[in-house]
Amino acid sequence: MRSGDVPVEPVVRKSPVALKLGIEEEDFSYVIDLGMPPPDGNSLFNTDPVIKRELMWEGPKPTPTKIIADRRGPSVVVRQNDSTTQFATDLAGYDSMIRAVTGPQAPWAVEALRRRLGQWRFYDQIRSDIHAPSRLPQVGTRTLALSPDGDDLAAAIQTIYEIGDRIALDRAIENAFPGAKLNVVAIGEHFQITMQQPGMLRPLKANELSDGTLRFILLAAALLSPRPAPLLVLNEPESSLHRAVIPALANLIHEASRDMQVVVVSHDRSLITALRGFGGELVELYKDTGETFAEGYEDLRWAWPKR
């Protein structure tokens, strides 16, 4: 099928349906194995995935002495001080042990993982269209991290100005739009951004900015958060941006990466080249017979535990 000698057709499945996800931190690793639930005539959620296995361990491999917490079906076993304890026996298939293993008897590493995962940020589709919520005045309250849809942009910008790196934000705006000045104004309890641009007799409000200009401001607010995330993911941040702004975006991402890990999903070669010039690592994806692979990572060593 891969060579094209025969048409692509289904084969007999030899293993159960599974979606496996895993992360490796410096001090521990974690995997989750999702599968299909057993048929239940009393529920309509018969295609809703359930958790078949979760495992957390120290070191490169989940050997028995390195396991921190192990969940099989509804049961969770934790290991501390060279002894194992049954922590739960009635965990629902849709509940993760990361949320269930809490309290003074829980391993510290589980709490650390829960905290780190909760701090991850994903900006998949930051809206900058004419109806984007960031174009409207918003209630002003301190905002340490831009929301995924950007509806608290003005508050996030003002928070950076007051307790964050204002110099970095002003520099990013200057690099992208030479001579422009970003500002936040208060109308009662509502905030809104304005931008003074060279040659304009008055500042432009958010609802007057171009899609690309607003999108860059949103990206700057996300990347220069006063409370950096351990991991921040940007999906196609170059969308709507003018080609001349790409170098400024690359520099902004580079500056933010000093305080957190930034993953950028992009099809823009100029952005990719610029980020590589700053020392960014390229992971190139390709498809083979409908299956997606990461170039150079086919033989990545990883321990997927059995169910």
Topology of 121-287 in CATH? Rossmann fold (3.40.50)
How many other β-carbons are positioned within 10 Å of the β-carbon of residue 155?
Answer: 24
Tokens standing for residue 4: 């094209």
Q: How far apart are CA 201 and CA 204, in angstroms?
A: 9
pLDDT per residue as tens, the chain (307 positions) = 888 888 888 888 888 899 999 998 888 999 999 999 988 888 899 999 999 999 999 988 898 899 999 999 999 999 988 888 899 899 999 999 999 898 888 899 999 999 999 999 999 989 999 999 999 999 999 999 999 999 999 999 999 999 999 999 999 999 999 999 999 999 999 999 999 999 999 999 999 999 999 999 999 999 999 999 999 999 999 999 999 999 999 999 999 999 999 999 999 999 999 999 999 999 999 988 888 888 877 666 777 888 8
**E-state strands within the chain:** 19-24, 29-35, 50-57, 67-72, 75-80, 83-88, 121-123, 138-139, 181-187, 190-196, 204-205, 231-235, 261-265, 285-288, 291-294
Alpha helices (H) along 90-139: 97-100, 108-119
Task: Report helix, strand or coil for 271.
Answer: helix
- Least Cα distance to 195 among 185, 187, 205 occurs for 205
Q: How far apart are CA 139 and CA 192, in angstroms?
A: 9
Domain with CATH 3.40.50.300 in the chain: 121-287
In sequence order, the 6+-apart residues with CB closer than 8 A to the CB of 212 are 128, 240, 241, 242, 245
pLDDT of residue 105: 84
pLDDT of residue 234: 97
pLDDT of residue 282: 94
Helix 166-176 crosses helix 211-223 at what angle (to 10 degrees)? 150
